[in-house]
Amino acid sequence: MKILLFGIANVGTTTIGRLLSQKLNYEFDDLDDEIIRRYEKIVNFRSEFPWQYERHKERGKILKEMVKKFDDNIVIAVSPIFYVKSFSKLLEDENVIAIELQDKPECVLERIEEYDENENPYRIEITTERERKYYLSEIKKDITYYKRVYAKITNKFDMNGEDPETVVERLAKYIEDIKNGIEPIKNEGKDEKIMGFKVYNEEQE
54-83 pLDDT, tens per residue?
999 999 999 999 999 998 999 999 999 988
For every residue of 57-93, which 3-state class applies, written as one string?
Answer: HHHHHHHHHHHHHCCCCEEEECCCCCCHHHCHHHHHC
Q: What is the CATH number of the domain that holds 154?
A: 3.40.50.300
Whether 103 contacts 159, CB under 8 Å: yes
Q: Which tens digit of pLDDT belongs to each residue from 4-55?
A: 999 999 999 999 999 999 999 999 999 999 999 999 988 899 999 999 999 9
Confirm whether 205 is domain-assigned: no
Q: What is the pLDDT of residues 162-186, one digit of tens each?
A: 999 999 999 999 999 999 887 655 4
Is 106 inside a domain boundary? yes
Pick the closest to residue 12 from 159, 173, 175, 172 (CA basis).
159
Domain, as residue range, for 93: 2-200
- Rounded CA-CA distance 110/112 in Å is 6
How many domains does the chain divide into?
A: 1
